[in-house]
Structure 1
Protein backbone atom coordinates (compact mmCIF):
# COMPACT_ATOMS: atom_id res chain seq x y z
CA UNK A 1 0.00 0.00 0.00
CA UNK A 2 1.37 3.42 -0.97
CA UNK A 3 1.01 5.50 2.19
CA UNK A 4 2.00 8.67 0.33
CA UNK A 5 -1.42 8.63 -1.34
CA UNK A 6 -3.08 9.02 2.07
CA UNK A 7 -1.28 12.27 2.91
CA UNK A 8 -2.94 15.67 2.65
CA UNK A 9 -1.37 19.03 1.93
CA UNK A 10 -0.88 21.07 5.15
CA UNK A 11 -1.51 24.33 3.29
CA UNK A 12 -5.00 23.46 1.99
CA UNK A 13 -5.67 19.90 3.27
CA UNK A 14 -5.96 18.87 -0.38
CA UNK A 15 -4.67 15.74 -2.13
CA UNK A 16 -0.97 15.42 -2.88
CA UNK A 17 0.39 14.14 -6.18
CA UNK A 18 3.81 12.46 -6.37
CA UNK A 19 5.97 13.96 -9.12
CA UNK A 20 9.52 12.65 -9.08
CA UNK A 21 11.02 13.46 -5.69
CA UNK A 22 8.29 15.93 -4.73
CA UNK A 23 4.71 15.87 -3.50
CA UNK A 24 2.62 18.60 -5.13
CA UNK A 25 -0.59 20.02 -3.64
CA UNK A 26 -3.33 19.55 -6.25
CA UNK A 27 -5.08 22.75 -5.14
CA UNK A 28 -2.28 25.27 -4.57
CA UNK A 29 0.65 23.76 -6.46
CA UNK A 30 2.89 24.04 -3.41
CA UNK A 31 5.73 21.48 -3.41
CA UNK A 32 7.07 19.27 -0.62
CA UNK A 33 10.28 17.19 -0.96
CA UNK A 34 10.43 13.40 -0.60
CA UNK A 35 13.82 12.25 0.66
CA UNK A 36 14.61 8.50 0.60
CA UNK A 37 10.89 7.79 0.45
CA UNK A 38 10.13 9.99 3.46
CA UNK A 39 8.01 13.12 2.77
CA UNK A 40 8.73 16.45 4.43
CA UNK A 41 5.52 18.46 4.68
CA UNK A 42 7.40 21.67 5.45
CA UNK A 43 7.67 23.53 2.18
CA UNK A 44 11.21 23.63 0.76
CA UNK A 45 10.64 27.17 -0.44
CA UNK A 46 7.97 29.83 -0.27
CA UNK A 47 5.08 29.58 -2.69
CA UNK A 48 3.25 32.46 -4.29
CA UNK A 49 -0.41 31.82 -5.18
CA UNK A 50 -1.06 33.23 -8.65
CA UNK A 51 -4.03 35.34 -7.60
CA UNK A 52 -2.78 38.92 -7.86
CA UNK A 53 -1.27 41.17 -10.51
CA UNK A 54 1.94 42.77 -9.28
CA UNK A 55 2.92 46.23 -10.52
CA UNK A 56 6.07 46.71 -8.41
CA UNK A 57 8.30 44.78 -6.03
CA UNK A 58 7.00 46.24 -2.78
CA UNK A 59 4.23 48.49 -1.49
CA UNK A 60 5.06 50.49 1.64
CA UNK A 61 1.91 50.85 3.75
CA UNK A 62 1.84 53.37 6.61
CA UNK A 63 -1.18 54.38 8.72
CA UNK A 64 -1.11 57.93 10.08
CA UNK A 65 -2.84 60.42 12.29
CA UNK A 66 -1.21 63.74 13.16
CA UNK A 67 2.31 62.62 12.26
CA UNK A 68 3.63 65.84 10.72
CA UNK A 69 7.36 66.03 11.36
CA UNK A 70 7.66 62.24 11.21
CA UNK A 71 5.88 60.84 8.15
CA UNK A 72 7.89 62.73 5.52
CA UNK A 73 11.22 61.59 6.93
CA UNK A 74 9.97 58.01 7.31
CA UNK A 75 8.75 57.79 3.72
CA UNK A 76 11.85 59.40 2.22
CA UNK A 77 14.25 57.23 4.24
CA UNK A 78 12.36 54.05 3.36
CA UNK A 79 12.28 54.95 -0.34
CA UNK A 80 16.02 55.61 -0.28
CA UNK A 81 16.71 52.18 1.22
CA UNK A 82 14.48 50.40 -1.30
CA UNK A 83 16.20 52.20 -4.18
CA UNK A 84 19.57 51.03 -2.88
CA UNK A 85 18.22 47.45 -2.85
CA UNK A 86 17.16 47.79 -6.49
CA UNK A 87 13.49 47.31 -5.58
CA UNK A 88 10.65 49.07 -7.36
CA UNK A 89 8.16 50.43 -4.85
CA UNK A 90 4.88 52.18 -4.15
CA UNK A 91 4.19 54.42 -1.13
CA UNK A 92 0.69 54.18 0.38
CA UNK A 93 -0.59 56.22 3.33
CA UNK A 94 -4.00 55.82 4.97
CA UNK A 95 -4.62 58.91 7.07
CA UNK A 96 -7.02 59.02 10.01
CA UNK A 97 -8.16 62.60 9.37
CA UNK A 98 -5.06 64.39 10.64
CA UNK A 99 -5.43 68.00 11.75
CA UNK A 100 -1.80 68.94 11.09
CA UNK A 101 0.31 68.80 7.94
CA UNK A 102 0.57 64.99 7.76
CA UNK A 103 -1.25 64.62 4.43
CA UNK A 104 0.71 67.38 2.71
CA UNK A 105 3.99 65.94 4.02
CA UNK A 106 3.14 62.45 2.73
CA UNK A 107 2.11 63.78 -0.67
CA UNK A 108 5.36 65.73 -0.95
CA UNK A 109 7.26 62.50 -0.29
CA UNK A 110 5.51 60.87 -3.26
CA UNK A 111 2.92 58.79 -1.42
CA UNK A 112 -0.58 57.91 -2.54
CA UNK A 113 -2.75 59.20 0.31
CA UNK A 114 -6.33 58.20 1.13
CA UNK A 115 -8.48 59.37 4.02
CA UNK A 116 -9.60 56.56 6.33
CA UNK A 117 -13.31 55.92 5.80
CA UNK A 118 -14.03 53.69 8.83
CA UNK A 119 -12.58 54.08 12.37
CA UNK A 120 -10.12 51.60 13.83
CA UNK A 121 -6.63 50.34 13.03
CA UNK A 122 -7.94 47.15 11.40
CA UNK A 123 -10.26 49.04 9.08
CA UNK A 124 -7.46 51.39 8.01
CA UNK A 125 -5.18 48.40 7.44
CA UNK A 126 -7.69 46.70 5.13
CA UNK A 127 -8.27 49.93 3.22
CA UNK A 128 -4.53 50.19 2.70
CA UNK A 129 -4.23 46.60 1.49
CA UNK A 130 -6.77 47.34 -1.24
CA UNK A 131 -4.47 50.04 -2.61
CA UNK A 132 -1.26 48.01 -2.51
CA UNK A 133 -0.01 46.62 -5.84
CA UNK A 134 3.41 45.25 -4.92
CA UNK A 135 4.49 41.62 -4.77
CA UNK A 136 5.32 42.40 -1.15
CA UNK A 137 3.73 44.74 1.39
CA UNK A 138 5.98 46.44 3.94
CA UNK A 139 4.26 47.95 6.98
CA UNK A 140 5.92 50.46 9.29
CA UNK A 141 4.88 52.96 11.94
CA UNK A 142 4.88 56.58 10.84
CA UNK A 143 6.60 57.98 13.90
CA UNK A 144 10.19 56.85 13.34
CA UNK A 145 10.15 54.04 15.92
CA UNK A 146 10.65 51.59 13.04
CA UNK A 147 14.10 52.30 11.63
CA UNK A 148 13.97 52.16 7.80
CA UNK A 149 17.57 50.92 7.72
CA UNK A 150 16.33 47.59 9.08
CA UNK A 151 14.35 47.08 5.87
CA UNK A 152 17.55 45.52 4.48
CA UNK A 153 17.46 42.66 7.01
CA UNK A 154 13.73 42.07 6.52
CA UNK A 155 13.98 42.19 2.71
CA UNK A 156 16.85 39.67 2.75
CA UNK A 157 14.51 37.03 4.26
CA UNK A 158 11.63 37.50 1.82
CA UNK A 159 12.18 34.23 -0.05
CA UNK A 160 12.16 32.17 3.15
CA UNK A 161 8.63 32.98 4.33
CA UNK A 162 5.34 34.64 3.43
CA UNK A 163 5.61 36.90 6.49
CA UNK A 164 8.84 38.39 7.87
CA UNK A 165 8.53 40.10 11.27
CA UNK A 166 11.02 42.60 12.68
CA UNK A 167 10.86 41.07 16.15
CA UNK A 168 11.59 42.75 19.46
CA UNK A 169 11.40 39.47 21.35
CA UNK A 170 13.16 36.93 19.11
CA UNK A 171 16.70 38.04 19.82
CA UNK A 172 15.82 41.71 19.46
CA UNK A 173 15.19 44.39 22.08
CA UNK A 174 13.04 47.42 22.81
CA UNK A 175 13.93 50.70 24.49
CA UNK A 176 10.72 51.47 26.35
CA UNK A 177 9.58 51.95 29.97
CA UNK A 178 9.95 48.77 32.03
CA UNK A 179 6.23 48.52 32.85
CA UNK A 180 5.29 48.77 29.18
CA UNK A 181 7.98 46.27 28.19
CA UNK A 182 6.82 43.76 30.83
CA UNK A 183 3.15 44.10 29.88
CA UNK A 184 3.94 43.71 26.19
CA UNK A 185 6.08 40.62 26.73
CA UNK A 186 3.48 38.98 28.97
CA UNK A 187 0.72 39.69 26.45
CA UNK A 188 2.74 38.32 23.55
CA UNK A 189 3.81 35.21 25.48
CA UNK A 190 0.23 34.48 26.55
CA UNK A 191 -1.21 34.89 23.05
CA UNK A 192 1.60 32.88 21.45
CA UNK A 193 1.03 29.92 23.77
CA UNK A 194 -2.76 30.16 23.75
CA UNK A 195 -2.81 30.04 19.94
CA UNK A 196 0.14 27.64 19.56
CA UNK A 197 1.90 30.03 17.21
CA UNK A 198 5.71 29.83 16.78
CA UNK A 199 5.97 33.63 16.96
CA UNK A 200 7.33 35.68 19.87
CA UNK A 201 6.36 39.16 18.69
CA UNK A 202 2.69 39.06 17.71
CA UNK A 203 1.96 42.73 18.31
CA UNK A 204 4.74 44.42 16.37
CA UNK A 205 3.70 46.18 13.17
CA UNK A 206 7.06 46.21 11.38
CA UNK A 207 6.44 43.41 8.89
CA UNK A 208 6.87 42.28 5.30
CA UNK A 209 3.98 40.29 3.78
CA UNK A 210 3.66 38.46 0.50
CA UNK A 211 0.58 40.15 -0.93
CA UNK A 212 -0.74 36.99 -2.59
CA UNK A 213 -0.79 35.23 0.80
CA UNK A 214 -2.81 38.06 2.37
CA UNK A 215 -5.29 37.83 -0.49
CA UNK A 216 -5.84 34.19 0.50
CA UNK A 217 -7.40 35.06 3.88
CA UNK A 218 -10.33 37.16 5.10
CA UNK A 219 -9.63 39.76 7.79
CA UNK A 220 -12.36 40.92 10.18
CA UNK A 221 -10.51 42.69 13.02
CA UNK A 222 -11.47 46.34 13.45
CA UNK A 223 -8.60 47.37 15.67
CA UNK A 224 -5.07 46.21 16.59
CA UNK A 225 -6.32 42.62 16.83
CA UNK A 226 -6.04 42.43 13.03
CA UNK A 227 -2.27 41.99 13.51
CA UNK A 228 -2.67 38.71 15.38
CA UNK A 229 -5.70 37.64 13.35
CA UNK A 230 -3.77 37.65 10.09
CA UNK A 231 -0.82 35.74 11.59
CA UNK A 232 -3.18 33.09 12.95
CA UNK A 233 -5.07 32.70 9.68
CA UNK A 234 -1.92 32.60 7.56
CA UNK A 235 -0.35 29.97 9.82
CA UNK A 236 -3.60 27.99 9.71
CA UNK A 237 -3.19 27.74 5.94
CA UNK A 238 0.37 26.53 6.20
CA UNK A 239 2.14 29.75 5.24
CA UNK A 240 5.60 30.34 6.66
CA UNK A 241 6.39 33.05 9.25
CA UNK A 242 9.92 34.15 10.12
CA UNK A 243 11.19 36.57 12.77
CA UNK A 244 14.30 38.74 12.43
CA UNK A 245 15.83 40.31 15.58
CA UNK A 246 15.06 44.03 15.71
CA UNK A 247 15.84 46.90 18.11
CA UNK A 248 12.80 49.07 18.76
CA UNK A 249 13.52 52.71 19.59
CA UNK A 250 11.20 55.37 21.07
CA UNK A 251 8.88 57.46 18.94
CA UNK A 252 10.01 60.56 17.12
CA UNK A 253 7.92 63.69 17.50
CA UNK A 254 4.43 63.68 18.90
CA UNK A 255 2.56 61.47 21.37
CA UNK A 256 1.83 57.72 21.12
CA UNK A 257 -1.65 56.84 19.85
CA UNK A 258 -1.35 53.15 20.69
CA UNK A 259 -2.46 53.19 24.32
CA UNK A 260 -1.27 49.93 25.86
CA UNK A 261 -4.54 49.17 27.67
CA UNK A 262 -6.58 49.59 24.50
CA UNK A 263 -4.07 47.48 22.65
CA UNK A 264 -4.24 44.64 25.19
CA UNK A 265 -8.04 44.68 25.35
CA UNK A 266 -8.23 44.48 21.57
CA UNK A 267 -6.01 41.39 21.55
CA UNK A 268 -7.62 39.61 24.48
CA UNK A 269 -11.08 40.33 23.11
CA UNK A 270 -10.35 38.26 20.01
CA UNK A 271 -8.43 35.48 21.80
CA UNK A 272 -11.38 33.08 22.24
CA UNK A 273 -12.51 33.40 18.62
CA UNK A 274 -8.98 32.84 17.30
CA UNK A 275 -8.37 29.97 19.74
CA UNK A 276 -11.43 28.14 18.39
CA UNK A 277 -10.26 28.71 14.84
CA UNK A 278 -6.71 27.63 15.66
CA UNK A 279 -7.97 24.33 17.11
CA UNK A 280 -10.43 23.58 14.31
CA UNK A 281 -9.89 21.05 11.53
CA UNK A 282 -9.14 24.00 9.23
CA UNK A 283 -5.63 24.23 10.70
CA UNK A 284 -2.93 22.83 8.41
CA UNK A 285 -1.26 21.13 11.39
CA UNK A 286 -4.51 19.83 12.95
CA UNK A 287 -3.72 16.14 12.47
CA UNK A 288 -0.27 16.39 14.02
CA UNK A 289 -1.47 18.40 17.00
CA UNK A 290 -4.45 16.09 17.55
CA UNK A 291 -2.12 13.08 17.44
CA UNK A 292 -0.18 14.54 20.40
CA UNK A 293 -3.19 16.15 22.10
CA UNK A 294 -3.45 16.31 25.90
CA UNK A 295 -7.17 15.59 25.47
CA UNK A 296 -7.27 11.79 25.63
CA UNK A 297 -10.40 11.14 23.46
CA UNK A 298 -8.99 13.36 20.72
CA UNK A 299 -5.57 11.68 20.90
CA UNK A 300 -7.12 8.21 20.96
CA UNK A 301 -9.31 8.91 17.94
CA UNK A 302 -6.38 10.32 15.97
CA UNK A 303 -4.00 7.46 16.82
CA UNK A 304 -6.35 4.54 16.32
Structure 2
Protein backbone atom coordinates (compact mmCIF):
# COMPACT_ATOMS: atom_id res chain seq x y z
CA UNK A 1 0.00 0.00 0.00
CA UNK A 2 1.36 3.42 -0.94
CA UNK A 3 1.99 6.05 1.73
CA UNK A 4 -0.76 8.28 0.29
CA UNK A 5 -3.23 5.41 0.59
CA UNK A 6 -2.11 4.76 4.14
CA UNK A 7 -2.75 8.41 5.05
CA UNK A 8 -6.33 8.13 3.79
CA UNK A 9 -7.11 5.12 5.95
CA UNK A 10 -6.04 6.46 9.35
CA UNK A 11 -7.66 4.60 12.21
CA UNK A 12 -8.98 6.30 15.36
CA UNK A 13 -6.68 6.44 18.37
CA UNK A 14 -6.70 3.40 20.62
CA UNK A 15 -5.51 5.44 23.62
CA UNK A 16 -8.58 7.09 25.14
CA UNK A 17 -6.74 10.08 26.60
CA UNK A 18 -3.60 12.01 25.66
CA UNK A 19 -0.48 10.22 26.84
CA UNK A 20 2.93 11.81 26.92
CA UNK A 21 5.08 9.69 24.62
CA UNK A 22 8.03 10.68 22.45
CA UNK A 23 8.59 8.84 19.18
CA UNK A 24 12.33 8.55 18.57
CA UNK A 25 13.42 8.21 14.94
CA UNK A 26 17.12 7.35 14.51
CA UNK A 27 17.97 8.70 11.06
CA UNK A 28 20.85 8.80 8.65
CA UNK A 29 19.99 10.19 5.21
CA UNK A 30 16.23 9.70 5.53
CA UNK A 31 15.12 13.10 4.19
CA UNK A 32 13.07 11.50 1.41
CA UNK A 33 11.09 9.41 3.87
CA UNK A 34 10.32 11.90 6.61
CA UNK A 35 7.46 14.04 5.20
CA UNK A 36 5.13 11.09 4.56
CA UNK A 37 6.24 9.28 7.72
CA UNK A 38 5.77 12.23 10.05
CA UNK A 39 2.35 12.94 8.56
CA UNK A 40 1.21 9.59 9.97
CA UNK A 41 2.33 10.15 13.56
CA UNK A 42 -0.76 10.01 15.81
CA UNK A 43 -1.81 12.82 18.11
CA UNK A 44 -0.31 12.46 21.57
CA UNK A 45 3.15 11.55 20.29
CA UNK A 46 6.01 14.03 20.22
CA UNK A 47 8.69 13.35 17.61
CA UNK A 48 12.45 13.40 18.13
CA UNK A 49 14.49 12.89 14.97
CA UNK A 50 18.07 11.93 15.82
CA UNK A 51 20.32 12.95 12.95
CA UNK A 52 23.22 10.49 12.93
CA UNK A 53 25.54 12.08 10.38
CA UNK A 54 23.16 12.74 7.49
CA UNK A 55 24.34 14.58 4.39
CA UNK A 56 20.99 14.83 2.60
CA UNK A 57 19.29 17.53 4.66
CA UNK A 58 17.49 15.13 7.01
CA UNK A 59 17.61 17.62 9.91
CA UNK A 60 16.23 20.49 7.84
CA UNK A 61 13.37 18.38 6.51
CA UNK A 62 12.53 17.15 10.00
CA UNK A 63 12.38 20.70 11.36
CA UNK A 64 10.11 21.81 8.50
CA UNK A 65 7.80 18.91 9.33
CA UNK A 66 7.56 19.99 12.97
CA UNK A 67 9.88 17.46 14.59
CA UNK A 68 12.45 18.18 17.26
CA UNK A 69 15.96 17.39 15.99
CA UNK A 70 18.86 16.06 18.02
CA UNK A 71 22.31 15.57 16.46
CA UNK A 72 24.43 12.56 17.43
CA UNK A 73 27.99 12.56 16.06
CA UNK A 74 28.86 9.05 17.27
CA UNK A 75 27.89 6.69 14.44
CA UNK A 76 25.63 3.75 15.13
CA UNK A 77 21.99 2.80 15.64
CA UNK A 78 22.39 2.38 19.39
CA UNK A 79 24.11 5.74 19.73
CA UNK A 80 21.25 7.46 17.91
CA UNK A 81 18.54 5.73 19.92
CA UNK A 82 20.28 6.48 23.22
CA UNK A 83 20.67 10.14 22.29
CA UNK A 84 16.95 10.33 21.60
CA UNK A 85 16.06 8.68 24.89
CA UNK A 86 18.29 11.11 26.80
CA UNK A 87 16.74 14.06 24.98
CA UNK A 88 13.18 12.95 25.73
CA UNK A 89 11.30 14.35 28.70
CA UNK A 90 8.21 12.18 28.19
CA UNK A 91 7.08 9.40 30.49
CA UNK A 92 7.00 6.93 27.60
CA UNK A 93 9.24 6.50 24.59
CA UNK A 94 8.69 4.69 21.31
CA UNK A 95 11.35 3.81 18.75
CA UNK A 96 10.72 3.34 15.04
CA UNK A 97 12.94 3.32 11.95
CA UNK A 98 12.90 6.57 10.00
CA UNK A 99 12.84 5.00 6.53
CA UNK A 100 9.07 4.88 6.00
CA UNK A 101 8.88 1.08 6.15
CA UNK A 102 6.66 1.03 9.26
CA UNK A 103 3.45 2.85 10.09
CA UNK A 104 3.60 4.91 13.32
CA UNK A 105 -0.15 4.55 13.75
CA UNK A 106 0.50 0.95 14.75
CA UNK A 107 2.24 2.30 17.86
CA UNK A 108 -1.09 3.25 19.43
CA UNK A 109 -2.20 -0.22 20.64
CA UNK A 110 1.38 -0.94 21.70
CA UNK A 111 1.46 2.17 23.85
CA UNK A 112 -1.98 1.35 25.24
CA UNK A 113 -0.76 -2.05 26.46
CA UNK A 114 2.18 -0.47 28.31
CA UNK A 115 0.05 2.30 29.82
CA UNK A 116 -2.46 -0.30 31.01
CA UNK A 117 0.29 -2.30 32.70
CA UNK A 118 -0.22 -5.31 30.46
CA UNK A 119 3.42 -5.19 29.33
CA UNK A 120 6.63 -3.55 30.45
CA UNK A 121 7.66 -3.22 26.81
CA UNK A 122 5.60 -3.68 23.66
CA UNK A 123 7.45 -4.98 20.61
CA UNK A 124 6.61 -5.04 16.93
CA UNK A 125 7.13 -8.11 14.77
CA UNK A 126 7.58 -7.28 11.08
CA UNK A 127 5.18 -8.88 8.63
CA UNK A 128 6.02 -7.92 5.01
CA UNK A 129 3.09 -6.57 3.04
CA UNK A 130 4.35 -8.29 -0.10
CA UNK A 131 7.15 -10.48 -1.42
CA UNK A 132 10.55 -8.85 -1.80
CA UNK A 133 10.13 -6.24 0.92
CA UNK A 134 12.51 -8.06 3.26
CA UNK A 135 15.72 -9.20 1.44
CA UNK A 136 16.64 -12.86 1.94
CA UNK A 137 19.99 -12.10 3.60
CA UNK A 138 18.43 -9.75 6.15
CA UNK A 139 15.59 -12.18 6.88
CA UNK A 140 18.06 -15.06 7.31
CA UNK A 141 20.24 -13.03 9.67
CA UNK A 142 17.23 -12.00 11.72
CA UNK A 143 16.02 -15.60 11.97
CA UNK A 144 19.46 -16.76 13.14
CA UNK A 145 19.61 -14.14 15.89
CA UNK A 146 16.05 -14.90 17.05
CA UNK A 147 16.84 -18.64 17.13
CA UNK A 148 19.90 -17.96 19.26
CA UNK A 149 17.96 -15.68 21.60
CA UNK A 150 15.25 -18.27 22.11
CA UNK A 151 17.81 -21.03 22.63
CA UNK A 152 19.99 -19.09 25.04
CA UNK A 153 17.45 -17.09 27.01
CA UNK A 154 14.08 -18.74 26.27
CA UNK A 155 12.81 -15.36 25.10
CA UNK A 156 9.53 -15.98 23.24
CA UNK A 157 10.26 -13.43 20.47
CA UNK A 158 10.02 -13.82 16.71
CA UNK A 159 11.81 -10.61 15.67
CA UNK A 160 14.62 -8.46 17.06
CA UNK A 161 12.36 -5.66 18.26
CA UNK A 162 12.63 -3.11 15.43
CA UNK A 163 9.74 -1.23 17.07
CA UNK A 164 9.51 -0.73 20.81
CA UNK A 165 7.43 1.16 23.38
CA UNK A 166 8.18 1.39 27.11
CA UNK A 167 8.62 3.80 29.99
CA UNK A 168 11.64 6.04 29.54
CA UNK A 169 12.92 5.58 33.09
CA UNK A 170 12.61 1.81 32.85
CA UNK A 171 14.67 1.83 29.65
CA UNK A 172 17.41 4.01 31.10
CA UNK A 173 17.58 1.81 34.20
CA UNK A 174 18.49 -1.21 32.06
CA UNK A 175 21.82 0.43 31.20
CA UNK A 176 22.09 -0.89 27.64
CA UNK A 177 25.68 -0.26 26.47
CA UNK A 178 25.84 -1.26 22.81
CA UNK A 179 25.92 1.75 20.50
CA UNK A 180 25.79 -0.06 17.16
CA UNK A 181 23.32 -2.50 15.64
CA UNK A 182 23.56 -4.85 18.61
CA UNK A 183 21.52 -2.42 20.70
CA UNK A 184 18.07 -4.05 20.29
CA UNK A 185 19.46 -7.51 21.00
CA UNK A 186 21.22 -6.36 24.17
CA UNK A 187 18.02 -4.58 25.15
CA UNK A 188 15.96 -7.76 24.78
CA UNK A 189 18.44 -9.79 26.83
CA UNK A 190 18.64 -7.14 29.56
CA UNK A 191 14.85 -6.77 29.69
CA UNK A 192 14.42 -10.53 30.01
CA UNK A 193 16.95 -10.72 32.83
CA UNK A 194 15.21 -7.84 34.60
CA UNK A 195 11.93 -9.74 34.53
CA UNK A 196 10.13 -7.43 32.12
CA UNK A 197 6.86 -8.56 30.58
CA UNK A 198 7.36 -8.38 26.81
CA UNK A 199 4.37 -8.27 24.45
CA UNK A 200 5.07 -8.86 20.75
CA UNK A 201 2.48 -7.99 18.11
CA UNK A 202 2.52 -8.07 14.32
CA UNK A 203 3.17 -4.83 12.43
CA UNK A 204 3.07 -4.24 8.70
CA UNK A 205 6.44 -3.97 6.97
CA UNK A 206 6.38 -1.80 3.84
CA UNK A 207 9.01 -1.02 1.21
CA UNK A 208 11.40 1.72 2.22
CA UNK A 209 10.63 5.20 0.92
CA UNK A 210 12.01 5.91 -2.54
CA UNK A 211 15.33 7.71 -2.31
CA UNK A 212 16.49 5.99 0.89
CA UNK A 213 18.78 3.00 1.39
CA UNK A 214 19.00 0.60 4.31
CA UNK A 215 22.20 0.61 6.34
CA UNK A 216 21.39 -2.95 7.43
CA UNK A 217 19.49 -4.89 4.77
CA UNK A 218 20.44 -2.80 1.75
CA UNK A 219 23.39 -5.08 0.99
CA UNK A 220 24.90 -8.40 1.96
CA UNK A 221 27.85 -6.53 3.47
CA UNK A 222 25.51 -4.48 5.65
CA UNK A 223 23.72 -7.60 6.85
CA UNK A 224 27.01 -9.31 7.70
CA UNK A 225 28.20 -6.25 9.62
CA UNK A 226 24.96 -6.20 11.58
CA UNK A 227 25.20 -9.93 12.32
CA UNK A 228 28.68 -9.29 13.70
CA UNK A 229 27.29 -6.67 16.07
CA UNK A 230 24.58 -9.08 17.19
CA UNK A 231 27.10 -11.84 17.78
CA UNK A 232 29.22 -9.56 19.94
CA UNK A 233 26.26 -8.84 22.19
CA UNK A 234 25.25 -12.52 22.44
CA UNK A 235 28.64 -13.79 23.62
TM-score band w.r.t. shorter chain: 0.7 to 0.9
- Residues 1-304 of structure 1: pairs in structure 2 closer than 5 A: 57-78=20-41, 82-83=42-43, 87=44, 89-158=45-114, 159=116, 160-168=118-126, 172-173=127-128, 175-202=133-160, 204-253=161-210, 254-258=212-216, 259-272=222-235
Contact 1:90 1:132 in 2 (8 A): no
**Greater RCO between the two (CA within 8 Å, min separation 6)?**
2
Q: Find the counterpart in structure 2 of residue 302 from structure 1.
A: none
Per-residue CA deviation, residues 70-107 of structure 1 (Å, 9 max, x unaligned), is: 112212211xxx22xxx3x3211110121112111100
Question: CA contact under 8 A between 1:165 and 1:243: conserved in structure 2?
Answer: yes
1:61 is paired with a residue of what secondary structure? strand
The residue matched to 1:113 in structure 2 has which SS? strand
1:149-186 deviations in Å (ceiling 9; x for gaps)? 32233233222111101113xxx456323343233222
1:137 Cα deviation after fit: 0.7
Alignment TM-score, normalising by the size of structure 1? 0.63
TM-score (norm 2): 0.81
- Unaligned 5+ residue runs, structure 2? 1-18, 217-221
Equivalent pair of 2:125/2:159 in contact (CA under 8 Å):
yes
Mapped contact 1:90–1:133 kept (Cα < 8 A): no
2:99 and 2:31 map into 1 onto residues whose CA distance is 9
Give the match for residue 4 of structure 1.
none
- The RMSD of aligned alpha carbons is 1.9
User: Residues of 1 paired with 2:39 and 2:24: CA distance?
Assistant: 13
SS of residue in 2 equivalent to 1:100: coil
Aligned counterparts of 2:128 and 2:151: Cα–Cα separation in 1? 20
Change (3 A) 1:179 1:122: closer
Structure 1 unmatched runs, 5+: 1-55, 273-304
Q: Please say if residues 138 and 206 of structure 1, whose CA atoms lie closer than 8 Å, have aligned partners that are also in contact.
A: yes
- Indicate conservation of the 8 Å contact 2:102/2:203, yes or no: no
State the Cα deviation string for residues 134-154 of structure 1 (Å, max 9, x = none): 221111111111112322332
User: Would you say the 8 A contact 1:153–1:244 is kept in 2?
Assistant: no
For residues 139 and 183 of structure 2, the distance between their equivalents in structure 1, rounded to whole angstroms, comes to: 21
